Amino acid sequence: MSNIFSSSIGKKLIMSLAGIFLIMFLLVHLGINLLVFKESSEAFNKAANFMGTNLVVKIMEITLFGGLFLHMVYGLILSVQNWLARPIGYKKTYNSQTSFFSKYMIHTAIVLGIFLALHLFDFYVKIKFIGNVGEVIYDGEPYHDLSAMVIARFKIWWVNVVYVIALLCLGFHLHHGFQSAFQTLGLNHQVYTPIIKALGVAYSILVTAGFISIPVLVFLIK
């Protein structure tokens, strides 16, 4: 029992729990980002300020980064262990054993890891530590004008291309990860599994489409 979290099952369990936490966070993140389309930038800037200054949110932020780190580390460890366990590839791959999406999880994870590092530097490090962000005044209080910053970024065509490619990888990753996370937690049943699969497909499509709509529509209409 003491070695459960160092076992393969333990690593999958931790990665799944961290993945589910990240799945929930993406919905919150998407909801706030969509506020950029409101005619006034006030709602977006105030929501972003709340997420950056509220004590409870800041504690959750630490949890988020911790969960993300664990998800990435354990995913990498499990992938390496699987590669080492079968150093010579199978001559024939059976679709029933390895789905198209699960086969390329590590590849999409690498793309997302690189994208996330760039995204955090652009929209987190610069705001938190460099501070080269304009300010606006609402009700006599100063706020970072993150709305203007987001719009300026997404008016650059190649930034849009990078984001769209990365977000398609996110959708690809979510498609398999959603079902896999719940399966690892033991929710594998002839009744529940098809429902979880359908929810996973709907979630990955809606979240991916929602995030992609932001850079594309900002570029086209903002």
Segment of 4-8, 12-16, 52-56, 143-147 carrying the highest mean pLDDT: 143-147
Q: Is the dihedral of CA 153, 157, 162, 166 positive or negative?
A: positive
Q: Over the chain, what is the mean pLDDT?
A: 80
Residue 14 has pLDDT above 70, yes or no: yes
Instruction: Domain of residue 173: give its range.
Output: 4-221
102 neighbors 176 (Cβ within 8 angstroms)? yes
Residue 31 has pLDDT above 60, yes or no: yes
Residue 52 has pLDDT above 80, yes or no: no
Position 151 scores a pLDDT of 92
Report DSSP letters for 95-118, one per residue.
TTTS-HHHHTHHHHHHHHHHHHHH
DSSP-derived 3-state class of residue 145: coil
Position 35 scores a pLDDT of 92
Q: Which residue has the higher pLDDT, 190 or 174?
A: 174
pLDDT digits (tens, 9 = 90+) for 64-122: 777 777 777 777 777 777 777 765 554 444 444 345 556 777 788 888 889 988 888 88
CATH classification at residue 216: 1.20.1300.10
Q: Which residue has the higher pLDDT, 220 or 64?
A: 220
3 pLDDT tier (thresholds 50, 70, 90): low
Q: How many independent structural domains does the chain possess?
A: 1
Position 1 scores a pLDDT of 46
Q: Using CA atoms, how far apart are residues 219 and 157, in angstroms rounded to an integer?
A: 8
Q: What does the pLDDT average to over 126-134? A: 73
